[in-house]
Amino acid sequence: MARGFSEKKLVIASHNPGKVREISGLLQGFGVDVVSAGDLGLPEPVEDGESFIANAEIKARAAATGSGLPALADDSGLCVHGLGGDPGIYSARWAGPDKDFTLAMKTVNEKLGDQKDRTAHFIAALALAWPDGHLEVFEGRVDGTLVWPPSGHNGFGYDAMFRPDGHQITFGNFDPADKHNISHRADAFRQLVAACFQ
């Protein structure tokens, strides 16, 4: 059985403002005061895991140890079926040192070329770590199709080129509240809330 979360403060183990904003929004209503690892001046750990869950665990454990508070980390990425699952766990790296996701989306589109298979899925792994070493992990997924050119200015990362199944617009055109209802992160969060926030 998962450990219940009863603390009043939680570190979001991320230096990505878009991700911090989205996770903070998903945590609203649970009476938890959130602070980001970036705001605390915690260094970004080396993410050398071989899966989304492994990298989320690295970030959560580093933030929990560094802050002395429970920490929640997300590792997420885009898996393009026509590229054998790439960029996958390297999704952020494809954006380069300047975190230029316009470049990253262009790279994905160029690598796909004129392939007919433009299906893809987003994965979000969540790791909730306590300073005593306890860890809970969850993984969510959403399937969709890649479009070109990108469309919309909401969201972050690859959102502007990802159209989730059953919808006619990209995540980049979604209202944030609507994205929270169907995204890979929302899927993982539903599992986290059911296990730890009841």
Which of the residues are catalytic?
75
Residue 172 token pair: 């980049």
DSSP-derived secondary structure letter, 168: S
**Beta strands 71-80; 119-129: pairing state:** antiparallel
Residue 84, phi-psi category: left (phi > 0), alpha (psi -120 to 50), beta (remainder): left
HSE at residue 109, side-chain half, CA atoms within 13 A, is 15
Place of tokens 């209202």: 175
**Beta strands 33-36; 135-146: pairing state:** unpaired
